[in-house]
Structures are given as structure tokens and as C-alpha cells.
Amino acid sequence: MGLFILRRVGMMIVTALCLTFIVFFMTNLYPNLEKLAKTQGNFRMSEEAVNSYLTDRGYLQPTPVKYLQWLGVLPGYKQIKEDGTVLGKCVRPGMTADTVPNFCGVLQGDWGWSTVSKAPVGETLGKRLANTAKLMFWVMVVMVPSALVIGVLAGMNEGSRTDRTLSTVSITSTATPEYVSGVIFIALLASTRFGLGPILHEWGWIEGKALFKGTAKTAMDKVTFENFTLPVLTVALYGMGYIARMTRASMAEVMTAQYIRTARLKGVAFRTIVMKHALRNALIAPFTVIMLQFPWLLNGVVIVETLFSFSGFGWQLVNAAGNNDIEMLLAVSVVSVVVVLVTQLISDIGYVYLNPRIRIS
Amino acid sequence: MEPLTWTGNLALLNPIFTYVAYAFILAVALQIVASFVFKPAAVGAVMTGTTAAGPKEWIDKLAKYLLLALIVVCLIYLLAGMVMPFGKAGIIGAVSARFAPVWIALFVTFTLSTVYKRRLGLYGKLYDSMIGMIGFGFVMFWVYTAIFVGVFDMIATGDPLSQVSGMKNKLPGTPIRGVDPETCGTSCWYLLGGDNLARDVFSRMVEGSVIVIVIAPFATLFAFMGGITLGLPAGYFGGKLDTFLSFLANLILAFPVILLFYLLVTPEIVQTGIPHYMAMVLFVFPIVFLTVLINSRFYTRPKLRNPLLAGILVLTVWIYLSAISAPGTVIHVLPESMDMFNISSGILVVFVSVVFVNSPTVFRIVRGLALDIQTRDYVAAAQTRGEGPWYIMLWEILPNARGPLIVDFCLRVGYTTILLGTLGFFGLGLPPESPDWGTTINDGRKLLSIYPHPALVPAFALLSLVLGLNLLADGLREESLRD
């Protein structure tokens, strides 16, 4: 088992290196650098001005060299101008030529400098990740139990009316991408002129004109029911259907197993069969699915955070990608790759623990 | 001119509709309660047809009739719209009248298919499953809409790009300012309102279906070609090839899709020509697939193979070159006179990135299926006969993997539709005035809580198409498992 984990971690590092190199290569293509120079300097820069801006800051070195500098294997680029100002990769505002460190890469724990937010990447991204963690926590709280309940209820009587109804519900929810459900939710539940809000207000059930808030800006300071319901619901809905369908399939399979039939023939009550015999075996498959669902949730998070203007990880991704904020984008891709691969690892290990029939040597 | 109401002269039906709807909801609620309270009637009683039905059966029957009544009322709204003069039956009637060719085509398709369903193989069996039929109905609705809009220029009431002053954010059913009521005919109103640039929401929605219906299935097809061409050998040969290809597939899958889109589709990257080079690589797979398919089957009969292969190669390579070469881009190899068509840069980029995102998943599915099927007896039989590996892969393994692949194809077209919407939602790839659903949703979301209709209309359109594809896949899976 130890060897297995070790091999997987090694694989993870290789994948992360490959991926970050691809991102590095794409973001360091000349048109992208030109855009960066123009947004950082000014938009009417001439060819030469762009060129000298980029040369001064070391952007025009060969890509592998820059990549190794970013990793912290090679010393960072540094150039001291005639007037004593120092430019380069490791330079942060307020540094003089003597205090600039030689190495400033990921290995030194320095994630770089965000050219858009004018702050260290690590610090900014940390804040964003904390926001997203809040969102993800509530998404999990809503999504997992409801998906499991729907799946188990549908799967324990395969072909019944409950099964058909719940299966249709879960198909509908997998067919509704976040930008569709989010738009529908905002229009029906967060509008002051249409949907439920004005009706409930007229009946005197709610104070304001709208039931929920259409943005989650205030949720960054304080999460309330009003400002966080819609984003959480939107992310949860898309993943819920998929998990529910997997649970249903696994539950339906377990219910046809020999030991369930034996239990029924013994005269055990249906409720006991479901709760004691079937449930534990039926939940092995959904566990892996839930784990593998994380990368998909990441996608949903990007859409929902953009739609509800919630400054989390996904919002940061869009922001960094739109402005070619190279080092931020690299950090973002490292985080997402790690999330994807770690969840895969956990799902594999968890599967082995939950299912005693499988052993990895 | 008066603005249209939702139901126009059919307003007298509205109370009936409301009552039936409420009654139906009540009946369904009762049904759920009853399923917990009452035990179902004894199995024997139901089988012999005696009337020993309990209260549960009565409620079931009631709910069924109420549902039928509800459907009938809805049908009256739609049919009356087609029969009554345009606009007299309100917005719903007018929209239904615009969709008349689609209704007729759907009706013909369903009647013919139901009559001949026993002779139509898997497609015919679809008509045994209610879910599959509903899904197929949704999908064909949009396919026919795309055909009638794209080829015959029918359904839309106006131009999707023209802006009419004074129609900004107008509600559904608003008459177009300044038109003559006598002569305007079917384009008197913005049936589903105007968007924030005063364009017709209804026309944009139906025009958008063309883009989606053209790109999504084709992109999925290309992804399948790539996934199959690489997945079969990876699963069949295994070893180093498998390790390498699987690593590549996992690498692409570890990318968050949206980051990948941002890296591939921004104007700066398009300027470097990377998407065009990727198109060059990805579009090769169908040619390779077809060539190997034909060659592995007919290589023992050179007289048949040589002309067949030559014909296919000339045709596909020509299409390939026309597809990738366009004036003004990095690849411009074909002279103007030979170039059959030019794909606009935006669409090509979107197409390529969607294919690129989808093919690793297809690769993994095909690889898994190949691993599973190659242990079967008929594969061993073919190996003993001395068939080549490519023959076994393409003519023994692939046909036997068709069930899961067809189901996955349906699901994947839906997923591709979602991806196209995502691209539009982030304003990537397609031009900002493009009427496709993702871009329109993105346009409409800024004023969502004040004017929801410009975003809701494309949102429901996209939802219904993807839902249809999912239901269709579900129906197909059920029917293909049955035998």
C-alpha cells in the first residue's frame, strides 16, 4: 500500500510539472507577453517600448530557463539599471538591489507576484481559496446527503413510481448546467419584479421584495441564508443528479444480490434489509463518484463565482486568465491539478478500504 | 397596435388550465402520501381484473386522467395558435404558429416510426420506451428547428442581428415600433421581447439553435474518431503505448476545462495559430480511421480495395485541406479555387477546443471497452484465423462495443452543448454578437433581476436540448440492455 501511494505521488508530481509547463508555455507566448506589457505599461506602447519592457524584466529569456526560474532551480532574473533601480523576477516593491533574493521559485515557497492585484500570489490566492472553501463546504453539506437519499430511495425499489420520478429529477439536474440553473434561480427567486419574491411580499410573508440576493458579494464577509443559498444551490444541483444516479445504480445492483434475497426469504422486514444489509454495500461506489466529482465541482465553482461575483478561486482563475496574470495562473493551475489528483488518490485508497475484496499489493 | 398577451383570445381557457393544474398537483401529492399509507391491492386481484382496487388505485387513476386533461389543454393552446390568425392566440399561439413546420415534421417522424418500428432495429425499439421517446422528441424539435431556420430560413420572425430603436429590453409581445399593422404580417411583434441591444430574443434563440446543432454533434463525432483511433490500440496492445497514451489523456483531463478554454481560445493565442495547428492534428483522425477501417477489411481483395481507398482518400484529404486552410490564417495551403469552404476562425477555434476536451474521455471509455472485449471468444477465434490486429480492433471489437458507445455519444453531445454554452458564457471564441445560446445568456445576465427574459429564453432552450439528449441516452440504454 505504501509503495502504491508513493508511486501515485510520484506520478502526481510528474503530471503537475507537465501541466504547469504547458500553462507556462501558453502564457509566455509572445502575443500574451505583449498584452501583459501593454496592460502593465500603457496601451499605446510602441513595438520597441514593449520589447525593452519585456527584456528588462527577463520575459524574453528562453521558456525553459524562465520555467526553471519559476520553479526555483535557477537563480531569478535580475537587472540593475543605471539609475540604481532593479528589475527582475524576484523584485518586489520596496526592495533595493542588495535585498533582492537570488532564488524566488516555488521550491523556496514563493509563488510569485500577481501583476493584476499587485500583491504576492500566495497571499491573494490563499484568501480566494478560503472563500471557495466556504462555498464548497456548504455545497457538500447540501449535495451529498440529498443525492444519497434520492439515490437510495430510487434504487431500493427499481422500476417503481418513486424510482421513475426521482430518476427523472436527477436526469433533469444533470442536464442543467450551472449557468442555466443560476440564471433561472436569479430570475425566479432573486428578482424584485418577477418570480416568487414579489408574490410572497404581497402576501406579507417576507420583508423585502426579493427572496434571495442575486449576488454573493456580501457573503465574503458574512455568510447568510439570503446571500449564499443561490450559489450553493446552483453548484450542488449539477453534481447532485450524477451522484444520485450512481447511488441508484449501485443500490439497484445490491438489491438484486443473493444475500438480499436470502434475507427477504428469511422474512426480515424490508426496512431492516435496506438499512442493515444493502446500504453499506451500496455506498461504496458513490464514495468514489463523490471524490471524482471534485474536479467537476471546480468547473461549477468558476461559473457560479463569476455569475454571483463571489471572489473565490474560480473568480480568480477567470480574472487571471483574462488578464494574462502569468504567475497567478500558474499557481491556480497547480492548485487545481493537486485537487484533481489528490481526490483521485483518495478515491482509490478509500475504495480499497471500503471494499475488502480488492487489495492492491 | 396592442401588445400581445400570453394567451390572447384563448384567455377563456386559462381558468380551466389553472384548475386542472392545481388539481393535478394535489393528486400527485395525494399519490405520494397514499403510497406510504395504503398497501397496494393484492397482486392476484389486479391480474384477474376484478375491481378490488383500493383508494391508492383510485388516486392513481385520477392523477392519470388529470395529467391527460392537462396535456389536452396545452395541445389546444398550441394547435389553436396554428389555426387561428397570427397573433390572435397570444404569444404562445404565435410562437407555436412560427414553429408549425417543426410540429408537422415531428408528427410525420413519430407516426412513420411508430408504424414501422419493428423493422427499424435499435431506433425502432426506442419507441417502446416513454422516456426515450420524450427525449427523442426534444432533440428532434431542435434538429428540425435548426434545419428549417438554417436551410429554409423559416421560423425566425426577423433578423437576429438587426436592432430596432425603442425596443430595448421590451417585454414579450411588444409590437415593433413603427411598423405598419396592415403589411407587417408575422413580424409585427417581438414575440419573446427585446434584449439589451434591442434585438429580437425569439429570432436570436432560433438562430442560435443552428450553431449548436451544427457544432455539437460534429465536434462529438470528431472526438469519437480521435478517441477510437487511439483508444482501441491502447486497450488492445497495452504496454508502453497504453501507458504513454493514458498519461496524455489523464494530463488533459487534469486540466480544469475553463482554464484550458482560456488558454486556447483567447485572441492572443488564436493570433499565434496554435488552434489551427491543433485542428491540423485533430482533423487527421477521421481520415486515419476511415483508411484503416477500409484497408483492414479489404486488403485481401486489392481490386476492390485500391479504387475504394483511393476514392476515399482523395475526397477526405480534399475536405481536410479545405477545412484547415483559410486565407489570412497561419495555414493557407490550398488555392482559392480549390477551397470548398472556409470555416470562420471563431467557429474553428471553438470546435477544436471542444473536440480536444472531449476526446480523452472517449479514449478512456474505448480503451476500457477494448480491454474488456478482447478477452471474448470471438476475438480469440479471429486471432486463430490469423486476422490482423486492426481487423480485430475495428471489425470485431468496435461493432461489439457499439451499445455503450451510442449511449455515450448521446450523452456527450449534450455535454458538448453545455461546453459550447460555457464558452459563450465566458465570451470566448464566438463573436460577441453571435446568437448562440451561451453568448445570449451571458449578454442577458447583466440585467437579470430587472429584465429576465433575454437570458431565460436561451437558458430554457439549452436546458431542453440537453435534457432531451440525456433522456434519449437513458431510453437507448434501457432498450439496448433489454436484449
Chain A residues whose CB is inside 8 A of the B469 CB are 175
Could you report the per-residue pLDDT of B292-309, keeping only the tens digit for each?
A: 999 998 988 889 999 999
The whole-angstrom distance between residue B450's C-alpha and the CA centroid of its chain comes to 30
Could you report the per-residue pLDDT of A12-32, keeping only the tens digit for each?
A: 888 889 988 998 898 888 888
CA distance B326 to chain A (A): 21
* Contact criterion met (CB below 8 Å) for B299 and B395: no
Evaluate if residue B50 carries a pLDDT over 90.
no
CA distance B248 to chain A (A): 9
Among candidate residues B138, B359, B159, the one with its CA nearest the CA of residue B248: B359
Round the average pLDDT of chain B to a whole number and report it: 87
For residues B342 and A113, the model is more confident at A113
Chain A residues whose CB is inside 8 A of the B441 CB are 179-180, 183
pLDDT for residue B53: 62
Q: What's the rounded Cα separation, in Å, for the pair B103 and B81?
A: 12
Contact assignment for A187 to B449 by CB distance below 8 Å: yes
* Contact criterion met (CB below 8 Å) for A352 and A358: yes
- Phi then psi for residue B174, to 5 deg, are -75, 130
* Contact criterion met (CB below 8 Å) for B193 and B174: yes
Q: Which of A21, A26, A39 to mutate to test the interface with B (most CBs of B within 10 A)?
A: A26
The percentage of residues in chain B with a pLDDT greater than 90, rounded to a whole number, is 44
Could you report the per-residue pLDDT of B327-353, keeping only the tens digit for each?
A: 767 777 777 777 777 778 788 889 999
Among candidate residues B143, B138, B156, B163, the one with its CA nearest the CA of residue B209: B143
Give Cβ neighbours of residue A191 (< 8 Å, ≥ 6 apart).
A197, A198, A210, A214, B448, B449, B450, B452
CA distance B258 to chain A (A): 7
The CA-atom distances, in angstroms, between B213 and each of A25, B279, B437 are: 34, 20, 11
Q: What's the rounded Cα separation, in Å, for the pair B406 and B412?
A: 10
Chain A residues whose CB is inside 8 A of the B426 CB are 306, 318
For residues A84 and B402, the model is more confident at B402
User: Which CATH superfamily hosts domain A123-354?
Assistant: MetI-like (1.10.3720.10)
Domain boundaries in chain B? 1-98, 201-482
C-beta neighbour count of B446 within 10 angstroms: 11
Q: What's the rounded Cα separation, in Å, for the pair B477 and B483?
A: 11
Q: Which of B259, B330, B412, B439 to mutate to test the interface with A (most CBs of A within 10 A)?
A: B259
Chain A residues whose CB is inside 8 A of the B444 CB are 183
Chain A residues whose CB is inside 8 A of the B450 CB are 191-193
- pLDDT tier at B222, thresholds 50, 70, 90: very high
Q: What's the rounded Cα separation, in Å, for the pair A198 and A191?
A: 8
B256 touching chain A per CB within 8 A: yes
pLDDT for residue B133: 92
Could you report the per-residue pLDDT of A40-77, keeping only the tens digit for each?
A: 877 777 888 888 888 888 888 888 988 998 888 888 77
Chain B residues whose CB is inside 8 A of the A294 CB are none
A34 touching chain B per CB within 8 A: yes
CA atoms within 13 A on the CB side of B76: 14
The mean-pLDDT minimum among A200-214, A300-314, B449-463 falls in A200-214
B421 touching chain A per CB within 8 A: yes
Q: What's the rounded Cα separation, in Å, for the pair B291 and B99?
A: 42
Domain boundaries in chain A? 2-110, 123-354
Interface of A with B in 193-252 (CB under 8 A): 193-195, 210, 214
The CA-atom distances, in angstroms, between B258 and each of A301, A325, B466 are: 11, 16, 19
Interface of A with B in 126-165 (CB under 8 A): 161-162
Interface of B with A in 20-79 (CB under 8 A): 31, 35
CA atoms within 13 A on the CB side of B18: 5
- pLDDT tier at B368, thresholds 50, 70, 90: very high
The helix (run of H) or strand (run of E) holding residue A80 is: strand A78-80
Classified as helix, coil or strand, A120 is strand
Contact assignment for B259 to A303 by CB distance below 8 Å: no
Cell numbers at residue A53, please? 519592457
Q: What string of DSSP letters covers A201-221?
A: HHTTS-SSS-SS-S--GGGGT
Contact assignment for B422 to A179 by CB distance below 8 Å: yes
Q: What string of DSSP letters covers B363-415?
A: HHHHHHHHHHHTTSHHHHHHHHHT--HHHIIIIIIHHHTHHHHHHHHHHHHHH
* Contact criterion met (CB below 8 Å) for B139 and B472: yes
Contact assignment for B449 to A324 by CB distance below 8 Å: no
Q: What's the rounded Cα separation, in Å, for the pair B375 and B377?
A: 7
Give Cβ neighbours of residue A211 (< 8 Å, ≥ 6 apart).
A189, A190, A195, A196, A197, A200
